[in-house]
Structure 1
């Protein structure tokens, strides 16, 4: 008897682990690059890092993990105050050291049409049905909102792991957004941030940002290729004869 059946998609253990932690990493980067970090935020992420082992062990991840775990308890309040002040120096006010918005950054570096860039970002958010709760007038192209967008889609992708077509669509959106936006400016932004600060926390964040984005894009391609191969096998049909 000839039988036609569909093989279940087998996700390698390394890819499964990547699917589980990538949303956490995007959230971590977003949290620390969106506003001056409060003591509660640093304490929260220190606990998460210790309990969940969610930071990739790249150079930036190791530096950030070591820093968070190594803050002396007796100096914790002072360290948190200093990191918040460093964020203000780097990103806030007319004399901010860093440009943290993609369109403004790329317009300066590449003579890019900032309005066209911003409209593309907004359309991507809208087409993905992602709406941000902006409490301080944040720009859609701020590095933190772009990272939050990726965090939202990564969590949605994880929650829809059994819905093949939905996950492929989500992967395609994330790949396009990384290639057309984050990877177009985040590596340069990260390098400038690491050079502009002496804070181990912000140097670690800068290194983690560029290293993680590159790895995440590579993993998204690998995941999509595996899914497409399984889809092709399923549509072609695998015949076995008893």
Structure 2
């Protein structure tokens, strides 16, 4: 039987703020990039962004915060309907503008390389599933989501971020979770999300989804840098 001894990790004030922030940001990205936003969800985030440390003070973070805070009360229902329709156009159905899964950004799309693309997709999905299994994370898929869908990968990071916070008192487990997040970002998220973010920014005129595209790219880079710095500080 494995016994976990309580030897807490050392966390600075700045690192503590980052660890709190990342939970909010992954939740924000998941909420708006995984399903059509309902009016209640948009209203919820309009309130949340007023709180301290729920959205980064980056260019994209400020842009998104300003947009959510500036929606006129009289136009709120109309704006929410427009954003829901924009999500539908971007992400839903066979004619969706965006492909929101990792393997779509790894394959060539060339019919002459179909066999090679199938192998790339298989290896991508296998690698992701192995990391989900390693972490002991099982998703409740309500609509048959792909394991390499952006929403799944972001939720995986959110789950690990929450577990890392909960295991601060157990140094070895906390470091193990941190290492797993770094590997997942290097092996998966950072290999395709920057291009996805650029494509999303080009595909939409919505202030909400333009802001989200910028935040997604900015935050993943920032979060990876912070994770690596935090891990180095624990040596």
CA distance in 2, matches of 1:65, 1:168: 32
CA distance in 1, matches of 2:96, 2:8: 52
What is the CA-CA distance between 1:71 and the residue it aligns to? 0.6
| TM-score between both structures, scaled by the size of structure 1 | 0.88
CA distance in 2, matches of 1:132, 1:77: 32
Deviations 1:127-170 (A, max 9, x none): 11111111111111110110000000000000111111011100
CA distance in 1, matches of 2:189, 2:9: 30
Partner of 2:37: 37
What is the CA-CA distance between 1:106 and the residue it aligns to? 1.7
Unaligned runs of 5+ in 1: 1-6, 229-242
Partner of 2:169: 162
CA distance in 2, matches of 1:216, 1:109: 31
Counterparts in 2 of 1:68-147, with a 5 A limit? Answer: 68-108=68-108, 113-147=120-154
Partner of 1:23: 23
- Are 2:201 and 1:194 equivalent residues in the alignment? yes
Contact 2:9 2:169 in 1 (8 A): no
State the number of aligned residues. 222
What is the CA-CA distance between 1:8 and the residue it aligns to? 7.6
Partner of 1:178: 185
Secondary structure of the 1:50 match is coil
What is the CA-CA distance between 1:11 and the residue it aligns to? 2.5
User: Aligned in 2, Cα 1:109/1:179: closer, same or farther, shift over 3 Å?
Assistant: farther
CA distance in 2, matches of 1:148, 1:96: 22
Deviations 1:86-128 (A, max 9, x none): 0010111111111101112321479751011001111111111
Secondary structure of the 1:51 match is coil
Bigger shift: residues 142-151 or 39-48: 39-48
| TM-score between both structures, scaled by the size of structure 2 | 0.90
Contact 2:20 2:53 in 1 (8 A): no
Secondary structure of the 2:192 match is helix
CA distance in 1, matches of 2:59, 2:216: 11
Partner of 2:4: none
Deviations 1:66-90 (A, max 9, x none): 1111111111111011001000101
Partner of 1:59: 59
Secondary structure of the 1:83 match is helix
